[in-house]
Amino acid sequence: MTLSAYAAPRCGSREALASMYADLGGQKHSDPGTFRSRLAWWTGTIAAACWDRVLPHALCWPVDADTPTQWADADIGRPLCLSVVIREQEIHGRYVRLSAYLDRTWTSWWSRRWRWRSGRNDDDDEALWSHVQGEWVLCENVERAARIATARDWSALERIMSRADAKAYLASLQDGARPLALSDKDTDILLTHLVRDARAIQHDGDVYKWGTARVTEQDRGILAVKGLHAQLERQVDAWQARMERAQATVRRALRAKEREAVTLSYLRTQKQLESMVDKRVLALEKVHTLLLSMDQAVGDAQLMQAYTASEKTLRSLLADPSLQPDHIDRTMDALAEAVHDQNVVTDALSSVPDDELADELAQLELDTLPSPPATQPEATSPEKTSLSMKTTHDTQKQAVPA
């Protein structure tokens, strides 16, 4: 796959790709928003091309005079902004020259960067190009690979290894189900980052130890035994292969009916090889058992260290003056007295005189009695009404004086 074919789907259209390939000169100040957008697109595209191994390395990008041609598109042509992209990413610390990155004093690259930038048009792609050629470490990809490398849980013995073993492990990293297939240069970069920047590995000489604990003499001994185990494995494999070849030679001699002396010589060599393989296998088993014992011993030592730390912490907590028996007794007595006083106050506030309770009870009993039925007025006939009115009139008449 060509680099332009890899970049095109990340734009969405040919017009957008042509815009990304256009010159960035002057746009940083005239249109900073578009400048940042295009810069972010190129940064992500280059990082992805390296990570997916469309480019030679996963963690670094080799840049030379032919790089723009490698990204050229048949219709659009070469990108006119790569040197500006590299310059900007170096300014922000996302790209670092490989030689400076692997140098233990690489932090001085900031001052070197400002020196080589002086006296130049920073927006001219052609003017910058001679200054950006070289191998650039992509810090984004390095940190991404470091997260994968440190995700593994190591046993006590697995975390101790030589530099060659560490690089072999890094070369075997996988991004999900896809092998990263880091190059030798990639593993050097990643190992440098894990030791110096991430502090995920401690090392002393050729002893590399995953974690934050420093390298000890016990670690050196463990690495020596692990080295012996690996050496015996290689010897067993080699002697096994030689023994199988000797067996094949004996069978071939028998089928060819060669002289008995020759066949016996082949058979004698076969038996010697079988004996050597048996001895190496026995030695390998012993060393393997020794490694298991050492692994268990390291685990037990770590467990006892945890117990010791827990005991010291517990005793430190128990030494607090507030946890002393006398203080506890005084506190509990004072608490009981306070609770008693609170109960007395509560009882005093909630007590009611008996006569008030009797009056309230009588009122409740009255409220619960059924109400008497309402009386209906007696019906009055017309005759009675007339007689009543007449009697009233006569009474009023007698009351008037003559």
Query: C-alpha distances in angstroms, 387 versus 3, 81, 330, 378, 381?
Result: 128, 127, 99, 16, 10
Choice between 370 and 190, residue whose per-residue pLDDT is larger = 190
238-278 pLDDT tens trace = 988 888 888 888 888 888 877 888 888 888 888 888 888 89
CA atoms 363, 365, 366, 367: torsion sign: positive
Q: Confidence class of residue 294 from pLDDT cuts 50, 70 and 90?
A: confident
Nearest to 327 by CA among 338, 319, 316, 337: 319
Residue 77 has what DSSP assignment?
A: B
Q: Confidence class of residue 352 from pLDDT cuts 50, 70 and 90?
A: low
Q: What residues pair up with 175 in beta bridges, in sequence order?
A: 178
Task: Give me the percent of the chain exceeding a pLDDT of 90.
Answer: 49
Residue-averaged pLDDT of the chain: 84
- pLDDT (0 to 100) of residue 364: 78
Amino acid at site 197: D
Strand 134-138 and strand 95-97: pairing? antiparallel
pTM, two decimals, is: 0.70
8 Å CB contact between 194 and 149: yes
Number of other CB atoms surrounding residue 211 within 10 Å: 14
Q: At what angle do helices 184-192 and 139-149 cross, to 10 degrees?
A: 80
Query: C-alpha distances in angstroms, 340 versus 326, 330, 346, 349?
Result: 21, 15, 10, 14
- pLDDT (0 to 100) of residue 391: 52
> In angstroms, rounded to a whole number, what is the distance separating the alpha carbons of residues 162 and 209?
9
Q: At what angle do helices 32-51 and 139-149 cross, to 10 degrees?
A: 50
| 17 sits in which H/E element | helix 14-21
> What value does the mean pLDDT take over residues 283-300?
88
Query: C-alpha distances in angstroms, 248 versus 244, 268, 278?
Result: 6, 13, 19
Number of other CB atoms surrounding residue 393 within 10 Å: 10
> What value does the mean pLDDT take over residues 89-96?
93
Burial of 165 (0-12, 13-18, 19+ CB in 10 A): middle
Q: Confidence class of residue 82 from pLDDT cuts 50, 70 and 90?
A: very high
108-145 pLDDT tens trace = 444 444 444 444 455 677 788 888 999 999 999 999 99
215-227 pLDDT tens trace = 999 999 999 999 9
96-111 pLDDT tens trace = 999 999 986 555 444 4
Largest CA distance in the chain: 188
Number of other CB atoms surrounding residue 284 within 10 Å: 17
For every residue of 96-158, DSSP letters joined together read EEHHHHHSTTGGGHHHHHHHHHTTS-TT-HHHHHHHH-EEEEEHHHHHHHHHHHTTSPPPTTT
How many CA atoms lie within 13 Å of 321's alpha carbon, on the beta-carbon side? 0
- pLDDT (0 to 100) of residue 374: 57
